[in-house]
Amino acid sequence: MSSSSRRTSAVPNEQGDKALYSIITQTPGIPATITETRISNLQTGTSTRFFKGAYYREAIWLGIENLVIWLKDVPLEATEIWIADAVEPQANSYCAGRLAALASHLKVKRLRNEYDDIAIAVAGPATKAGNPYNPEADLTTGADGIHSNAIWYTTLRKKAIDNHSAAMRYLLSPTKWINALRGTGLESPLPALLGPADNFDISSSGIIFIAKDPTGHLGGFSNIESYYIPLKTFTELSSPRPQRIKVKDYNGTSSNPVFSQNGDSVAFLKKKSPTDQNDRNRIIVISRIRDFRAHVSIEDIPTRQSEKEWHLSPFSVAWSDNGKELYVVAIDRGMRKLFKIPAALSSIKKEPQPITSESTMPADVRHLRMVFSAPLESSYS
C-alpha cells in the first residue's frame, strides 16, 4: 500500500524572505506519522530540509529573527520544546524545556516587555486535579486515568547559557507550565483528538478560547461559548478566571476565535440559534478586549437581504496585519471564496464582494496574508 502525503501552507517569517512549511506523510499499517519541515528561500525559490522524523511536529516561527520553535515527542508521553536558527538548524538547536504530557497546537506571541519575553501556549491533557496527565505516570501512581483537554501557558525568556559565555538562549520560565482551565470545569480544545487548532488563540492581552458551557444556561443545553482570560505576563501563577463573552441575542455556537496582531481586538464566529442546524455564522468583533467586562452588544455585518444579515456563512476569519480589515472564507454558490471586509463592521454599507473568484482558498484563512507554494523538486540539504 502506498503512503499518502499532505503539505501545509507555507508561512513567511516577519522579514518576508523565508517561509516555513511541512510535508506530513502517513503510511498504512505504520502508526507513526513522518513530518518533514522545510525552509523556502523566497528570494531564490529554493527550499532546504529543516528536519525530518516521526517525533518532530508543528514547527512555527518564534517571531525573533530566523528562530524556529517546534514540538518533539519524547519517551514516557512527554513533549519537549525545541528552538533553532532556520539558517543553521543542525549547529544550534537546543531544548528550551518540556511538558510532562503530550502537547499539541503550539502557539507563541512576542510580548515586547522589558525582558522581551515570548508567551507560549499548548494544548495538553490534564488530570482532575489540574496537573499534566501522563498515562505512563498513572501506571506507577495508581491514578484513575480520568483526564480532559486543557490549555497550558508560560513564557520563554532569553538567558545566558552559562556564566562564562555571552551566548543567549530562550528557555522556559521558572514558573513552568500553568493550566489556564484549572478548577473551571471547562475543556478546551474541544474533545475528539484535541479538536482543531482554531479552538484557542493567544496575544499580549491573554487567551481566547471556545468551550462547552458547563452550566447549561439554555434549558440544560450545553452550548459552545467563547471565553477570555486576561493575562499580562503569562507567568501569573493564579490564572484569572475565564470570562464568558455574552453577545446579546446570539445564543448559538461560537467558533474560530482570533486576536488582532496587536492583541487589542478579538474576532470570532457565532450563530444566533443554539438548536437550528441551518443557522449561519455571523462575524463578531470586540474592540478594546483588555477592557472587556463579560458582556457586549454587537452589530452584525450588513448584507444583501437586509442591513443586518449576510446571506453567506463564514467558516474562517483572520485579521490583517494593521488590524483594520478582516479576511473571511465563506462558501458562495458551492465555491470557497475569500472576502476582505472592514473590521469596523458598522462601516460596511453594501454586501462584501469576494477578492477571489475560484475555489482556491484553504479552509483556514489565518495565514492568508502570504501563502506560498514552495518547490518540492529542490534537492535535500
**What does the pLDDT read at residue 143?**
57
**What does the pLDDT read at residue 346?**
81
Query: Cis bond leading into 242, ω under 30°?
Result: no
**What does the pLDDT read at residue 142?**
46
State if pTM tops 0.85: yes
**What does the pLDDT read at residue 123?**
95
Q: Which segments in the chain show pLDDT lower than 70?
A: 1-2, 29-32, 137-144, 193-197, 216-222, 293-310, 357-381
**What does the pLDDT read at residue 365?**
53
